[in-house]
Amino acid sequence: MADCDLCGVARPTLCPVKVNAPDVKAAYPTGTWRGINEECLHSCHEANLNRMPVNGAEKCDLCGTRNVPLFQVTVQVPIFQEPYRRELNKAICSNCFEACEETLRRREAEKEEHHH
């Protein structure tokens, strides 16, 4: 099991998303990987289609970049009591949106291959 880097929920497998994280830029100048679960990947995709600017967020919740436009992503987190899920608002930068789209495209391509 691994914890999603966006919502913190543990999943057997996560989707790799390549981000440019400023805190490790010296070690990984071409970008580093974050793992998010499938639900969050789709939440990011939805949020990218309908971008809602976030005010008051300091940095991107995925890559940690500051002083860039941030957009709201609503993720669903399971909880142990009614209604068993809670909505969490996260702030994502446009670079990370692109990275999520890239991951989605790669996944679609892999699915295609399995069909043939």
Q: Rounded to an integer, what distance in angstroms lies between the CA atom of residue 62 and that of residue 16? A: 12
Work out whether the CA dihedral 96, 102, 108, 110 comes out positive or negative: negative
Query: Which two structure tokens, joined as six digits, stand for 63?
Result: 């890559």
CB of 98 to Zn ion, least distance (A): 9
DSSP per-residue codes, 45-65 = HHHHHT--B-SS--B-TTT--
Q: Which is nearer to Zn ion, 23 or 108 (CB)?
A: 23
CB of 85 to Zn ion, least distance (A): 12
Residues in contact with Zn ion by CB under 5 A are 4, 6-7, 37, 40, 60, 62-63, 93, 96
Q: Which is nearer to Zn ion, 68 or 115 (CB)?
A: 68
Q: Which is nearer to Zn ion, 93 or 104 (CB)?
A: 93
